[in-house]
Amino acid sequence: MKSVCLSDRGRVRQLNEDSCGVFTNTDGLTLAVVADGMGGHRAGDVASSMATSLLKELWEQSKSIDSPELAENWLREHIEQINQKLYKHSQDNSECQGMGTTVDAVICSPTFATIAHIGDSRCYLSNSNGFNLMTSDHTLVNELVKSGQISKEDAEHHPRKNWILRALGTEPSVEMDIKTIILEEGDFLLLCSDGLTNKVQESELNEVLHTNEELQKKAEVLVQMANENGGEDNITLVIVQYSSMSESG
């Protein structure tokens, strides 16, 4: 398994409120994380970095997560714990009041991946069946699309496109989506913040994943494409490639 993590401030924002990481536990399993601090809220960078660092700390102490059920339980339990810590931090520190973050956290075993999702960052799977979104945005606009009130095309330009209905750290408890998918050699997982998906088409994302470049170069190309298309937001992504190779890169 190979992986790469890359975060970029973009061309407009003064601050990078995104955070990401790829971490290994005592059994050598990978946890990939992307978190996007809530724009327009104070201390979004604090929320995303706290979420990522707390997940790293907890993951590096974990072991014996060898089934989808154990992976799902681990994510549910620990993300709820982190939510409570973020919420308490925002209550105890006036400068952080109202802070929150999206989170996509994926436990990657040799045969399956378990995805925990809150907010509008995304996780895609690219394999022989194509390029498919594994998460559903927790946004007002996505709810309007699902209920048939607006079209997907309308959603792209909706004035409230960035209204998030669910985030980590904004309430005492949080609801998350969790699912497990089966993976095979050659499959790619792409975790990313909306700074990428709002600027690069899904077909282009998939095309870059399947070039002959090294993973680091693929990540750099995707960030460059988002910046060339405006770069109004922070741009963050993790790519995980399933292969018989064990090294990162």
What is the rounded average pLDDT for all residues in the chain?
Answer: 94
Mean pLDDT of 197-221: 97
Task: Please report which confidence band the pLDDT of residue 39 belongs to, taking 50, 70 and 90 as the band edges.
Answer: low
| Residue 225 pLDDT exceeds 60 | yes
| Superfamily (CATH) of domain 2-241 | PPM-type phosphatase domain (3.60.40.10)
| Residue 48 pLDDT exceeds 90 | yes
| Residue 180 pLDDT exceeds 70 | yes
pLDDT for residue 34 = 98
Model-level pTM? 0.94
Q: What are 127-151's pLDDT values in tens digits?
A: 999 999 999 999 999 899 899 999 8
Are the C-beta atoms of residues 97 and 90 closer than 8 Å to each other? yes
